[in-house]
Amino acid sequence: MKICTTVQEMRQARARLGSVGFVPTMGFLHEGHLSLVRRAREENEAVVVSLFVNPIQFGSPDDLANYPRALERDIALLKEEGVACVFTPEAAGFYPEDFATQVDVGGVALELEGPSRPGHFAGVATVLVKFFNIVQPQRAYFGQKDAQQCAVVQRFVRDLNIPVEIVTMPTWREADGLAGSSRNSRLTEAERHRAPVLHQALCRARDLARAGERRRVVLEKAMREVLAQAGLTDIDYVTVVDPGTFQARDVVPDDALALLAVRLGAVRLIDNLPLG
Amino acid sequence: MKICTTVQEMRQARARLGSVGFVPTMGFLHEGHLSLVRRAREENEAVVVSLFVNPIQFGSPDDLANYPRALERDIALLKEEGVACVFTPEAAGFYPEDFATQVDVGGVALELEGPSRPGHFAGVATVLVKFFNIVQPQRAYFGQKDAQQCAVVQRFVRDLNIPVEIVTMPTWREADGLAGSSRNSRLTEAERHRAPVLHQALCRARDLARAGERRRVVLEKAMREVLAQAGLTDIDYVTVVDPGTFQARDVVPDDALALLAVRLGAVRLIDNLPLG
């Protein structure tokens, strides 16, 4: 497995590979990431994984500094998975001092995580356009856990005619329902114990929707009640949207998506579930 | 010569070409464009030219509507030059109704034309990123007449790691010094007669700089005087900048660039000249 730390090294390594499946990550890998890597191996001649905690997608320096890192363990995991190449650029060379370009996405990017985390999706879109230009993959793999991110990526890839196929995979969950996330490692034991209630709230909305409920206020209230019963009240959003626009409608469509962003102590967790 | 009107046609045509030199234009071709095409032919196996009046880089609907067009004549000219492929997309398909992505460039893009034409450089950068992803050229060719545009393109190509070499060529000029521009066709006979004074003003600044003058205010005043003597007083900017930043400095560097944007009646013309 080749480890590239500069753009030039990565370009040279890529030139020696056939079709490439690309899995962009911020490291601290969990089973969700590995499920993307395995799918990428099935569908391409080689897999490239980036491990890069992208500074420009973090709103707060604290959040960036606290993001968990485990580079050596990640590299060992990817070696076992038969990955051809790992790309871990240094932030300083990747974003030179006079770096001045940003990919701004409107539409789906303006909802939910958009206002909650100003600049976040622009940071994600900008780093991915850079990665796509350097790695030149045939396919790139993303987890549905970040459902809105998947929609944002599909939008700018289509808008900018980027020649890459975006593949999304279902959220990987722990046995108790908690969605896989690198941020889970920052939960205290007590918080970890309560965290599955996010998924339980989403399941409650799905059960109601399957029983015919289409009123958004009713679905949202039910989710908030499940969260409140577990003492989770620091809520960024709890909502049900049209998955095409990520906008809330009073009467939710059959393929509606329930989403939430909730703080447990110092950790902000997100999750979502299709209600169809 | 193949003429492509959809993204899909263009991708298919490109797949059959070897190394590609790309000349993006808004049509109504003049000798300046053709000098880019000839250089592209020398340096690549095939040349692709786009003819597309890009709506998102125009601030005013009037300016867009009045931009000159001559598609059949342009196609005939390019055929004579041995161009492999012309790309003339329909705006409606190129920018679908829910198009929502923009490439924003800071730094050099924030000066001069930036504030004079809000949104212009974002429109230019966005359409070029699309073209580069569709045409996948080895090299792309731009005229120094749009000096700031050249700097903006070089900046976002570097920042986004786009695998294309940007080649810039000297401004093509009429015998009387007027810089080649599609907009020249909109000048009245009287305006066309006065238009070379833009170049004369720039030459005056160059003569002074060559004689040792480094004070920006003196160089700018001299240019304004030349313009005023010809009755040109509707001035957007007349300045001398550092070509690395496009910022004005009181004492101009040895490689300074003089630039101006002036209105003659309904037509806004720009020009520039290195003072070194």
Name the residue in chain B with its Cα closest to that of A136: B163
A156 touching chain B per CB within 8 A = yes
A188 touching chain B per CB within 8 A = no
| ipTM of this complex prediction, to 2 decimal places | 0.96
Annotated binding site of A for (R)-pantoate: 57, 149
- Is residue B12 a known part of a binding site? no
Judge: A161–B99 Cβ closer than 8 Å, yes or no: no
Q: What is the tens place of the pLDDT at every residue in A64-107?
A: 999 999 999 999 999 999 999 999 999 999 999 999 999 999 99
A129 touching chain B per CB within 8 A = yes
How much is the CA Rg of chain B, to the nearest whole Å? 19
DSSP string, A73-142: HHHHHHHHTT-SEEE---HHHHS-TT--EEEEE-GGGGSTHHHHSTTHHHHHHHHHHHHHHHH--SEEEE
A60 vs B200: CA distance, rounded Å: 52
Contact indicator for B264, B196 with CB cutoff of 8 Å:
no
Q: Which of B7, B101, B155 sits opposite A101 (nearest CB)?
A: B155
- Is residue B169 a known part of a binding site? no
Phi and psi angles of residue B96, each rounded to the nearest 5 degrees, phi first: -60, 165
Report the C-alpha dihedral over residues B148, B150, B151, B156, rounded to 10 degrees.
Answer: 120
Q: What per-residue confidence (pLDDT) applies to A50? A: 98
| Pairing verdict, β A101-105 and B101-105 | antiparallel
Q: What per-residue confidence (pLDDT) applies to A150? A: 98
Name the residue in chain A with its Cα closest to that of B106: A100
- Is residue B27 a known part of a binding site? yes
A108 touching chain B per CB within 8 A = yes
* Shortest alpha-carbon distance between residue A39 and chain B (Å): 26
A99 vs B6: CA distance, rounded Å: 33
| CA distances, A53 to each of A24, A27, A68, A269, B100 (Å) | 10, 7, 9, 17, 26
Q: What per-residue confidence (pLDDT) applies to B232? A: 96
Q: What is the tens place of the pLDDT at every residue in A124-169?
A: 999 999 999 999 999 999 999 999 999 999 999 999 999 999 999 9
| Neighbour count for residue A233 (Cβ, 10 Å) | 10
- Is residue B92 packed enough to be buried (19+ CB in 10 Å), middle (13-18) or exposed (0-12)? exposed
Q: Which of A110, A158, A161 to mutate to test the interface with B (most CBs of B within 10 A)?
A: A161
Mean pLDDT of A11-17: 98
Q: What per-residue confidence (pLDDT) applies to A140? A: 98
Assign A207 a pLDDT band (cuts: 50, 70, 90): very high
A105 vs A115: CA distance, rounded Å: 13
Judge: B101–A159 Cβ closer than 8 Å, yes or no: yes
A241 touching chain B per CB within 8 A = no
* Shortest alpha-carbon distance between residue A139 and chain B (Å): 15
Residues pairing with A50 in the sheet: A24, A87
* Shortest alpha-carbon distance between residue A180 and chain B (Å): 29
B160 touching chain A per CB within 8 A = yes
B255 touching chain A per CB within 8 A = no
**Nearest C-alpha neighbor of B19 from the set B44, B43, B36:** B44
* Shortest alpha-carbon distance between residue A131 and chain B (Å): 8
Assign A259 a pLDDT band (cuts: 50, 70, 90): very high
Q: What per-residue confidence (pLDDT) applies to B80? A: 98
Judge: A161–B7 Cβ closer than 8 Å, yes or no: yes
* Shortest alpha-carbon distance between residue A223 and chain B (Å): 31
Name the residue in chain A with its Cα closest to that of B156: A101
Q: What per-residue confidence (pLDDT) applies to A95? A: 97
Q: What per-residue confidence (pLDDT) applies to A246? A: 97
Query: Which stretches in chain B have pLDDT values below 70?
Result: none
Q: Which of B155, B161, B245, B247 to mutate to test the interface with A (most CBs of A within 10 A)?
A: B161
Assign A256 a pLDDT band (cuts: 50, 70, 90): very high
Q: Which residues of A are catalytic?
A: 33
For chain B, how are helix, strand and coil distributed in percent, rounded to 5?
45, 25, 30
B125 touching chain A per CB within 8 A = yes
Assign A178 a pLDDT band (cuts: 50, 70, 90): very high
Give all domains of chain A, ordered by start, each with its CATH number: 2-169 (3.40.50.620), 182-271 (3.30.1300.10)
